[in-house]
Structure 1
Amino acid sequence: MFDPYLLFLLGLGVVVLLVAWLPMALSRLPLSLAILCVLIGVAVFHGGVVPFRSDPLRFSTLTERMTEIVVIVSLMGAGLKIDRRIGLKRWASAWRLIAITMPLSILGVTLMGMHGLGLGLASALLLGAALAPTDPVLASDVQVGPPMAGDRGEARFSLTAEAGLNDGFAFPFVHLAVAIALAGGAASQGLLTHWLTIDVLWRVAAGVSVGWGVGKLLGWATFKAPHARMSGTGDGLVALGATLVAYGVTEAAHGYGFLAVFVAGLALRETERDHAFHEAMHDFAEQVERLLMMLVLVLLGGAVAGGLLDSLTWKEIAFGLALVFVIRPLAGWIGLIGSPHSLRERALVAFFGIRGIGSLYYLAYGLNHGHFQRWDRLWAITGFVVLCSILVHGVTATPLMARIDAWRAANKPR
């Protein structure tokens, strides 16, 4: 019989090796790292090799913290790799996806949850807020490349910027769902006023301003300090430090840390846009992100093997499929009406609304802070949507992005 500690070390070692090797092995295949991680988790936990049960209902606080760390590391990487300077016109597609597509997605999911699944307002809104954002972790295959690699097209830029921003802008609706749940399911005028002033205006403003300030300060220390610049170390560990500082300071100021981390990454790039040290920071953040992502998805596979989806009915399955194939694509298409995207790029951006680890975090956060009924049902629905997205988008990302890249190259002005 294996010692559990030695078994953990063995499993961790295998995961680390897979983190390094699988992206290269899967680069030309219509298969994603996320799919394999979930399958590994199902196989390992179903076979009884691991002596504990992966259960997000039982370990709700641990689930919240683990997914939180993965998302903030991913958001820093997303901020660092965007080459395009911030601007109203330059980022017009991202603003459309945040201001139009995401609220439409939340509204669509909330209405379906209430009238199709019979959920209360608070539970339906929590599902809408959790399932609306495009995930920054699992969307790496459809995003821009590393720093100074170029935008690689409007579609990749839009999906990267959307994934970076919408995790912060979805949080007000999670807070609204929690507030309604704590109030017994009703939204009074006083509750809405407090939500608008504190959870929307203050927390968003604090996230943007503190994130930008921390990013600029760390940018100065990294690239412009007169002595001992951090860029001189060549150590990408700086990215992790910047992530934790930006997140911690912003959360202490009661702002949205997710938004602050992404903005801090953008501010770091803005300080010294073409410095090679950005690549070192991005590469380190990406390695940490992949490692943590694999661990979370293996545990998600273990939760599936342990019965996470057992309570699903045909209504929940239809709900999940409608979100992936109808609500997000339709909301994405509406949000990009009038944009400079070609029809192909618009369809691609609308389709690739990948749901993933961010959705797991928001659901765990909401359930841990509010009074919601039937946790098992909410987890089953969210788990199904995430698994459906991992499968559908994971299989199609490589061939579809290869086609759009080839189309861009063929139509590039000479």
Structure 2
Amino acid sequence: MVFIAAGVGLAQTGLLPAEGAQEGLHFLAEIALVILLFLDAAKVNLRELLAERTVPLRMLVLGLPIAVLLGTVAAAVFLPGWPVFALALMAAILAPTDAALGQPVLTDERVPEMERQTLSVESGLNDGLALPSVLLFASLAAATADGDGRNWPLFIASQLVLGPLVGGLVGYLGGKVILLADQRGLSTGTHEGIATIAFACAAYLGATLMDGNGFIAAFVAGIAFGYVVKRQISFVYEFTESEGKLLSWSAFFLLGLTLVPEAIGKLDGPMLALILTSLFVIRPLAIWLSLMGTGLPARTKLFLGWFGPRGLATALFALLIAGKTDPEYADPVLMIAINTVWISALLHGSTAAPAAAWYGRKTGK
């Protein structure tokens, strides 16, 4: 909230040209997405997730697709005349969540550990899991608009197969190299940190050069890297809590400086209705449906459903596909995404601490 507001405030002064800052935002967006996808994935314990974390697993495997499906239907209501792939693209961009905007919930010990861990795992993984559908719908929307005659089964296969293959190989080998260097005393924490970032970038560049998807590659590389090193390398966790946050805050500041003022100026009734429906109806309903049969009380389902703030992933996905989809819909998609981010930052940021205290009281913490 603070960094977005600071960016908007600076934009009103005219002291910093928005055009130059927007170029920096695009560069920062791509770098931030590659690194944060890698690091978020590296922190996940796959064995523990598959064996015990049934709640976040259901929210990811069931809740995320349900949110995209419901979001497509809602977008069709509020954006009449849009082609189906553009509607699905909008829904996929609005589906990922960002734990940074609900940080008081994740750090408040009055909230039971299960709920905090669930939201942390879900927000860490759902941006990477949503990415393939975002890229696919963007490509299909562009192709249907310009009559692209490419071999779509081959294109989809190259995007969804080559990226994970390259990422998995780079992440696995990178983890082995770092472990070996650490065990033999051939590296320091600083050099391990530089190497880790290099592996994330190598996965992205390697997949891109092979016509695979670099962002999916970075995400899979992080999973493979984390599986190999486990918690023996502290850099991943330290970076995420320090430099990683600074990277995210910088992106939020540049969003406020370059895009939020324009997005607010284009906010109209149908757009606002779609955003509020996404925040208040689609996400909570998708989570509720995904958790049916778990025995969780209604307040827990509602609590987990509400704390799905839209943040950096939504903004970055919209920025990255702006030039890859039908130009007629690229700007509206971007404006809806940016307006969703600042509205979510306001609503979720202001309710995080009070809701955490309320939920803690209700659960006896």
Q: TM-score range by the shorter chain?
A: 0.7 to 0.9
For residue 126 of structure 1, what is the amino acid of its counterpart?
L
Match of 1:161 among 106, 114, 121: 121
Alignment partners' CA distance in 2, 1:84 and 1:165:
11
For residue 47 of structure 1, what is the amino acid of its counterpart?
T
Once the two structures are superposed, residues 95-119 of structure 1 have per-residue CA deviations (whole angstroms, 9 ceiling, x without a partner) of 3223322222222222222232223
Q: Contact 1:44–1:50 at 8 Å: present in 2 too?
A: yes
Q: Which residue of 2 aligns with 1:240?
A: 197
Aligned residues between the structures: 362
Q: Which moved more, 1:362-371 or 1:219-228?
A: 219-228
Q: Contact 2:30–2:320 at 8 Å: present in 1 too?
A: no
Once the two structures are superposed, residues 384-407 of structure 1 have per-residue CA deviations (whole angstroms, 9 ceiling, x without a partner) of 111111111112223434555677
Q: CA distance change for structure 1 residues 364 and 304 in 2, over 3 Å: closer, same or farther?
A: closer
Q: Which residue of 2 aligns with 1:180?
A: 140
Q: Contact 1:159–1:349 at 8 Å: present in 2 too?
A: yes
Q: Which residue of 1 aligns with 2:86?
A: 123
Alignment partners' CA distance in 2, 1:264 and 1:211:
4
Q: Which residue of 1 aligns with 2:273?
A: 318
Alignment partners' CA distance in 2, 1:103 and 1:263:
19
Once the two structures are superposed, residues 323-348 of structure 1 have per-residue CA deviations (whole angstroms, 9 ceiling, x without a partner) of 11111111111112223655444322
Alignment partners' CA distance in 2, 1:295 and 1:173:
27
Q: Which residue of 1 aligns with 2:221?
A: 264
Q: CA distance change for structure 1 residues 397 and 202 in 2, over 3 Å: closer, same or farther?
A: farther
Q: Which moved more, 1:168-177 or 1:77-86?
A: 77-86
Matched, 1:214 2:170: yes
Task: Give the TM-score normalised by the residue count of structure 2.
Answer: 0.83
Match of 2:41 among 79, 82, 107: 79
Query: Secondary structure of 1:133's match?
Result: coil
Once the two structures are superposed, residues 230-281 of structure 1 have per-residue CA deviations (whole angstroms, 9 ceiling, x without a partner) of 4566753343223222333333344444444344334334334342x32x33
Percent sequence identity is 27
Q: Contact 1:63–1:361 at 8 Å: present in 2 too?
A: no
Match of 2:73 among 108, 111, 114: 111
- Following TM superposition, by how much is the alpha carbon of 1:89 offset from its aligned partner in structure 2, in angstroms? 3.5
Task: Give the TM-score normalised by the residue count of structure 1.
Answer: 0.74
Q: Contact 1:67–1:358 at 8 Å: present in 2 too?
A: no
Matched, 1:368 2:323: yes
Q: Contact 2:37–2:128 at 8 Å: present in 1 too?
A: no
Alignment partners' CA distance in 2, 1:406 and 1:222:
45
Q: Contact 1:210–1:260 at 8 Å: present in 2 too?
A: yes
Matched, 1:51 2:7: no
Q: CA distance change for structure 1 residues 374 and 194 in 2, over 3 Å: closer, same or farther?
A: closer
Q: CA distance change for structure 1 residues 194 and 122 in 2, over 3 Å: closer, same or farther?
A: same
Q: Contact 1:39–1:301 at 8 Å: present in 2 too?
A: yes
- Following TM superposition, by how much is the alpha carbon of 1:175 offset from its aligned partner in structure 2, in angstroms? 3.2
Q: Which residue of 2 aligns with 1:354?
A: 309
Q: Which moved more, 1:38-47 or 1:228-237?
A: 228-237
Matched, 1:194 2:157: no
- Following TM superposition, by how much is the alpha carbon of 1:73 offset from its aligned partner in structure 2, in angstroms? 2.3
Higher helix share: 2
Once the two structures are superposed, residues 3-33 of structure 1 have per-residue CA deviations (whole angstroms, 9 ceiling, x without a partner) of xxxxxxxxxxxxxxxxxxxxxxxxxxxxxxx
Q: Contact 1:45–1:305 at 8 Å: present in 2 too?
A: no
Name structure 2 gaps, 5 residues minimum.
none
- Following TM superposition, by how much is the alpha carbon of 1:40 offset from its aligned partner in structure 2, in angstroms? 0.6
- Following TM superposition, by how much is the alpha carbon of 1:86 offset from its aligned partner in structure 2, in angstroms? 4.6
Query: Secondary structure of 1:338's match?
Result: coil
Q: CA distance change for structure 1 residues 257 and 107 in 2, over 3 Å: closer, same or farther?
A: same
Alignment partners' CA distance in 1, 2:213 and 2:103:
22
Show the 5 A alignment for 1:14-29: none
Match of 2:8 among 26, 38, 42: 42
Q: Contact 2:25–2:255 at 8 Å: present in 1 too?
A: no
